[in-house]
């Protein structure tokens, strides 16, 4: 069985219950976590330990909270109010877990599904998305990570171009794959609006509804957008169902032509606006 799972955000107890409910076995089954393994929940270190223990049976995408942990660990960003990954930073083997985290991908294809944390701009098809994600994964996993983290936090460039190079190119890729919700038809992401799909700024659409996007028809799964809730369409899965806000943690089975949704309820760990 192959399951895709939405944002865990440090809620290891809920993750354990969900894996038990779907009967997950690492010798038989596959998991893809859609990013934001850590932060805001009570046990980020437990999530990292659990997922690493599954070896090749699990793929964990990098989300914006995972990158934030790496930036804080490097001394590039300060802790924010509400950050709860102190257990990772205080662990005696923190270097091991930070190294494991930085080696995770930003996009992945599983059972025909293109999986990202946040979104894909309309100029990218599946092949280009995977190739661009691999570019940044190599940067994050390599010796250039500290330098990139120093310049990663910006909304510029505003629009994708194949001619982008260096840190500007990598920054745009990261922003699209880990932060985007809304996008314009000419490929300009909006990073401020966080409402549901009805809250699009003027001239913008939810990224997966932009007319003429090159990834149209490609089955896609993503997290990141808790205000959107569960979206279960034939070629689209949105799986951030607000576990850390007291919602649910969601898994969807996607292999063998079957579509099975499994959820566990979650105790509220943080309140919106905190």
Residue 130 lies in a domain: yes
Residue 31 lies in a domain: yes
Q: Which long-range contacts (CB under 8 A, 24 or more apart) does 127-133 make?
A: 128/214, 129/177, 129/215, 132/107, 132/173, 133/105, 133/106, 133/107, 133/173, 133/177
Selection from 131, 137, 126 nearest residue 66 by Cα: 137
Residue 213 lies in a domain: yes
CATH code of the domain covering residue 127: 3.60.21.10
Residue 80 lies in a domain: yes
Contact 72, 82 (CB under 8 A): no
Residues of the chain with pLDDT under 70: 272-274
Residue 270 lies in a domain: no
Q: What pLDDT score does 9 carry?
A: 97
Q: What pLDDT score does 269 carry?
A: 82
Phi then psi for residue 220, to 5 deg, are -135, 145
Residue range of the domain that includes 123? 2-265
Q: What pLDDT score does 31 carry?
A: 97
Residue 271 lies in a domain: no
Residue 81 lies in a domain: yes
Residue 273 lies in a domain: no
The domain total for the chain is 1
Rounded Cα distance between 79 and 128, Å, is 34
Q: What pLDDT score does 273 carry?
A: 56
pLDDT in tens, 79-97: 999 999 999 999 999 999 9
Pairing outcome for strands 236-238 and 260-265: unpaired
pLDDT in tens, 140-194: 999 999 999 999 999 999 999 999 999 999 999 999 999 999 999 999 999 999 8
pTM for this entry: 0.96
């Amino acid at each position: 069985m192959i399951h895709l799972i939405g944002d865990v955000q440090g809620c290891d107890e809920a993750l354990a219950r969900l894996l038990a409910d779907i009967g997950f076995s690492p010798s038989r089954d596959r998991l893809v976590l859609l990013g934001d393994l850590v932060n805001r929940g009570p046990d980020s270190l437990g999530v990292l330990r659990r997922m690493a223990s599954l070896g090749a049976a699990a793929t964990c995408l990098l989300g914006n909270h995972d990158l934030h942990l790496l930036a804080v660990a490097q001394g590039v960003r300060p802790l924010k109010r509400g950050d709860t990954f102190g257990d990772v930073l205080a662990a005696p083997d923190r270097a091991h877990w930070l190294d494991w985290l930085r080696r995770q991908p930003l996009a992945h294809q599983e059972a025909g599904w293109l999986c990202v944390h946040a979104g894909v701009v309309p100029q990218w098809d599946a092949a280009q998305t995977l190739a661009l994600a691999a570019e940044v994964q190599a940067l994050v996993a390599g010796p250039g990570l500290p330098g990139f983290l120093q310049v990663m936090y910006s909304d510029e460039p505003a629009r994708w171009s194949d001619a982008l190079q260096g840190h500007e190119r990598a920054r745009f890729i990261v922003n699209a794959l880990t932060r985007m919700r809304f996008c314009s038809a000419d490929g300009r992401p909006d990073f401020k609006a966080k409402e549901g799909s009805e809250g699009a700024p003027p001239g913008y659409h939810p990224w997966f509804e932009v007319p003429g996007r090159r990834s149209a028809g490609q089955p896609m799964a993503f997290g990141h957008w808790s205000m959107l809730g569960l979206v279960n369409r034939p070629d689209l899965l949105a799986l951030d169902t607000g576990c850390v806000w007291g919602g649910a943690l969601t898994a969807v089975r996607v292999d063998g032509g079957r579509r099975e949704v499994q959820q566990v309820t979650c105790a509220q760990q943080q309140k919106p606006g905190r």
